[in-house]
Chains A and B, each alone.
Chain A
Amino acid sequence: MSEVRIEHVFKRFGSVTAVNDFNLVVKDGEFVSILGPSGCGKTTTLRMIAGFERATEGEIYIGEQCVSSSIKGSFAPPEKRDIGMVFQSYAVWPHMTVAENVGYPLKIKKVDKAERERRVQEMLELVHLGEYGKRYPNQLSGGQQQRVALARALVAEPGLLLLDEPLSNLDAKLRESMRFEILEIQKKTGITVVYVTHDQGEAMAMSDRVVVMSMGVVQQIGAPHEIYTQPANKMVADFIGLVNFMEGEAKGDRVFLKGSKVSFPNTSKVTGEATIAVRPENISLSLVGGHIVGQVTHRLYLGDAVEYRVKVGDHDVRVIVKGADLNSIPDGAKVYLDFDRVMVFEK
């Protein structure tokens, strides 16, 4: 299995800088997700690791092999890298059977037929397609095709598996169950995984660590709970989970809600004008008493919770209360809020 090192990698398309100074070490056997909104450079990063794009600057190492270096001017083509890849569009070859698809990497490696058939069958069992070897891809569902692609990427036992939004073409139910299948396979094989997604839920649920990107720049790298509870900046806080932003002013170790005497501990180094951020589930709402006064403007029934929109001064604050009864607080009611785990960012 392979460690991946990406050092000061840039990728420019003409005047567009798609990836800007990317640095990351993926440890042997680790599952790392690259997460960010569409167009932020995730695919470009993955394609540089796979060798389909050449980095404008920087070095990429897979295991001991330096696969791309702008200084040495060296570049290993995709077929010379020990990598399996799963594409967003499945990329299963329609003119080959499932078994031929999965067996192709072994055929290229000139593995003899009996051995090849044995390993293909083994892979197909692993992705729960043991009975489907003789079928053609157009006889399979999207989820099954994606599992064929997964089996094909793994069959040659590469040191590294790359996945580019592999679940985004599947329906919601299937996505959930495929998450577990991919994790289970990773556990069984111990392979190093770099997983690209724009779905924060997917990244949080599956990864050992998450790389959050925006506009080609890495915003934060950390374990899912770090990213969620200690986002490095406004962008990360906004992209991961729900968050309310409010204007504030930081003075010493306190931060004040703008235009009020309400203050919270300042956990950051920010002074002066600041942004106060608080997640909806960290706000408690009460009809009797609290620090902040507001008025309910809308209510949304979420099934297991109720989301309230509360007007506090100029701000529209989202509050999510688990297990609340929709009718216990009417629109227009005067309510009291308390903020917990307040985050402070530069304005």
Chain B
Amino acid sequence: MLDVTLPLMAPSILAGGLLVFIAAGSCFGIPSIVGMPGNIEVMTTRIVTYIYMGDDAGIRDSTALAASLMFIANILLMGMTWMMGRKDYTTISGKSTRPNIVELGKWRWPAFCAVGLYGAIAVIIPLGSIVLTSFLKSMSKPITWSNIGIDPWIPVITSAQYMESVWNSVVYGVIAATIGTLLSLFVAYLAVKTQIKGRSIPDLLVVIGGSTPSIVIALALIITFSGNYGLNLYSTVWIIIVSYLVKYMTMSVRTIAAALSQVHISLEEAALNSGANWLRCCKDIIIPLIAPSVIAGWFLIFMPSFYELTMSLLLYGSDTKTIGVLLYELQTYADTQNASVLSVIILAIVLIGNLILNKLSKGNVGI
């Protein structure tokens, strides 16, 4: 264990740690909601504060911070890729291997308790309490059966303003996912199936976009699309959708590229040999074979876009408020009750999406 397994796993463990570090460092929503009451600031929240100041100095300072954040994130990611790249990590192999099951013996129960405790503290208790809160008739009264009902849901569900945000998020998610999936198909096909020079450049750009912290993307889009360079998308749907595309296309490109690379070239050649032209070959052979991954790719863009906060918060306009932004506002106004109802709605939609995703990818992909 100490001599073989751990050294073998070391790169993966380190990479996992780095990924968590990058994700945590780029995260805005959680530190801002949890930290603001205590005036704890991290890089991302400071960037937002600067942007909200609205003047030139604010934009300048936030850009400087954002650039350094992006620099740190990308350096770490490159380091990680280099480390993983030194060994041949094959992710797709034709043969399936059975994972080695370790007998824990007398450690079984302690291990079970530790994992269970973590699960309870990190996932079950917070989520459970959100669900519970959403059904509490009165927040100030104790939790009893008489205090539980669907009453808190009624104002939320009937509120035109709330429902508009939910609807906005669904629509933006669907648009981003649909455009993103088509783009991903194109990028993946280019990288995997063609011999064109520079075929993997779009793929690389997508990866860079995905590994850039959300807050940096939002800031970059504000600077680019607020009219300075001819195109003014500020306060429109499209700037939000572009931000989702930049951030979330990586996963769908990866998923579709993996599926495409498993379609052996001879399967296509057999179709051509049967008299089918290229289009017919795509329609009859390639598309049916990669369909599950394409649909999975769609959900991989839809779901994070649906509950996205950081970029939406910086990019929304009066007509384009999303569910994430609404939730953030409710939380900052200390409207816990309505916030938890909305959270449960988000949770439900994301859980359903994840179930579909899991079914399609046979348990390999999920968010």
| Interface positions of A (Cβ within 8 A of B) | 50-52, 77-79, 83-85, 87-89, 91-95, 104-105, 108-109, 149, 152-153, 156
Contacts and interface: CB of A to CB of B under 8 A. Distances in A.
A93 B274 CA distance: 12
Given A89-B264, A152-B274, A78 B288 contact: no
Contacts of A83: 273
Interface residues of B, number: 17
Contacts of A156: 274-275
B267 A91 contact: yes
B277 A52 contact: no
B264 A105 contact: no
Nearest to B289: A95
Contact of A93 (B270, B275, B280): B270
B270 A85 contact: yes
Contacts, number: 58
A84 B270 CA distance: 9
Contacts of A93: 267, 270-271, 285, 289
Interface in B123-161: none
B93 interface: no
Given A91-B264, A93-B285, A108 B275 contact: yes
Given A79-B277, A89-B264, A95-B288, A104 B271 contact: yes
A150 B285 CA distance: 18
Interface string B171-192: 0000000000000000000000
Contact of B270 (A51, A87, A95): A87
Contact of B269 (A87, A94, A108): A87
B273 A104 contact: no
B276 A85 contact: no
Contacts of B289: 93-95
A94 B267 CA distance: 9
Given A104-B284, A108-B280, A91 B266 contact: yes
B351 interface: no
Given A85-B270, A91-B267, A108 B285 contact: no
Given A88-B266, A108-B280, 11 more contacts: A52-B272, A77-B272, A77-B277, A79-B277, A87-B266, A89-B264, A91-B267, A92-B270, A95-B288, A95-B289, A152-B274
Contacts of B272: 51-52, 77-79
Given A108-B275, A156-B275, A78 B269 contact: yes
Contacts of A77: 272, 277
A181 to B, nearest CB: 20
A89 B270 CA distance: 11
Interface in B216-257: none
Contacts of B274: 79, 104-105, 108, 152, 156
A91 B275 contact: no
B264, B271, B280, B288: which has the most chain A beta carbons within 10 Å? B271
Given A79-B277, A105-B275, A152 B270 contact: yes
A91 B271 CA distance: 9
A300 to B, nearest CB: 35
A91 B274 CA distance: 12
Q: Which 6 residue pairs across A and B have the least CB separation, nearest first? A: A91-B266, A105-B274, A91-B270, A78-B272, A108-B275, A87-B266
A89 B288 CA distance: 20
Nearest to A81: B273
Nearest to A103: B274
A4 to B, nearest CB: 16
A15 B285 CA distance: 34
A94 B290 CA distance: 12
Contacts of B264: 89, 91
